[in-house]
Homo-oligomer: A and B are copies of this chain.
Amino acid sequence: MKPAAYIVDDDEAIRDALTWLFRSRQVDSRAWPSAESFLADWREALRGCLVLDVRMDGMSGLQLFDLLCERGSRLPVIFLSGHGDIPLAVAAVKKGAFDFVEKPFNDNELVDRVIRAMQSDAARKPAGPEVAAIHVRLTQLTPREREVMERILAGKYNKVIADELNIAMRTVEVHRSRIFEKMGVKSAVELAQLLSGNR
C-alpha cells in the first residue's frame, strides 16, 4: 500500500485540479466525490493524507473526520474550507486535524502541507497490528472492567479500588487479570503507556 493523498470534495473542478496538482509534484492521489463514498473505501491500512472539503452535500467533512476518528483512524487530515470560518478551523484542529487551509489556496503551499502531512504519517509507528487493535481491545472490556481500569491507571492500590467500588479485593484482582489479558499487557505500567500514547 503506497502512501497517497486522498481527496474528498464534491466539486469536480476542485478534484481535477488537485489531482493534476499532486501529480505535478509526484504525489499519488485518488479522489472521491463525497464523504460517504470515501468512507465505503476507507480501511485502517490507508497511508498518506486525507484532503477533505469541509462543506459537502450529505455528510460534511467534519462529520467524516469524526467518524474516522471513532473508527481509530490516524490518517492526517487537511481540511479545505471556502469560508473563512475560524471557529470551524479551531474546532477541527482541536480535534486533531493536521491542518486547515482556506480556498482559494496557494497551490505550492497546499502541496507542501500535504507532503508534510504524509511525512508525519510515515513517521508514525511502524504501522500497527498493535496500535489498530487497541481500540478493538478496549471495546472488549466489560463495563465493570473499565471502571477498574480507570482506577488502575490512576495508580490506586487494589485495596483502594475494592473500597471505592465496594467489592472484595479478590474481585479487583480478577478484573485486573482479565484487563491485562484482554489488553495484551503484563503490567499496569505497560497499560498506562499503551493508553497514554494513544488517546
B90, B154, B188: the one contacting A99 at CB < 8 Å is: B90
Interface hit among A45-53, A164-172, A191-199: A191-199
Shortest A69–chain B CB gap in Å is 16
Q: How far is the CB of A189 from chain B (nearest CB, A)?
A: 4
Q: What residues of chain B lie closer than 8 Å to A87, measured between beta carbons?
A: 101
Minimal Cβ-Cβ distance residue in B for A81: B86
Within 8 A of B (CB), among A151-199: 152-155, 185-190, 192-193, 196-197
A102 contacts partner chain B, Cβ-Cβ < 8 Å? yes
Total copies of this chain within the assembly:
2
> Considering only CB atoms, which chain B residue lies closest to A157 in the complex?
B187
Q: Does A93 lie at the interface of the complex (its beta carbon under 8 Å from any beta carbon of B)?
A: yes
**A153 contacts which chain B residues (CB < 8 A)?**
189, 193
List residues of chain B with CB within 8 A of the CB of A99.
90, 94
Question: In the complex the two chains form, what is the Cα distance from A154 to B93 in whole Å?
Answer: 28
A104 proximal to B (CB < 8 A): no
* B187, A155: Cβ atoms closer than 8 Å: yes
Residue from A99, A152, A187, A197 having most chain B Cβ neighbours under 10 A: A187
Please determine whether B86 and A189 come into contact, CB atoms closer than 8 angstroms.
no
- A residues 58-96 touching B (CB-CB < 8 Å): 81, 84, 86-87, 89-90, 93-94
Please measure, in the bound complex, the distance between the C-alpha atom of A152 and the C-alpha atom of B190, giving whole angstroms.
Answer: 10
The verdict on A100 contacting chain B, using a C-beta distance below 8 Å, is yes
Q: A152–B187 Cα gap in the complex (Å)?
A: 11
Q: Report A153 CB to chain B, min CB distance, Å.
A: 7
Contacting residues, chain B, for A152 (C-beta < 8 A):
189
With both chains docked as a complex, state the minimum distance between the C-beta of A114 and any C-beta of chain B, in angstroms: 15
Q: Contacts of A187 on B, CB cut-off 8 Å?
A: 155
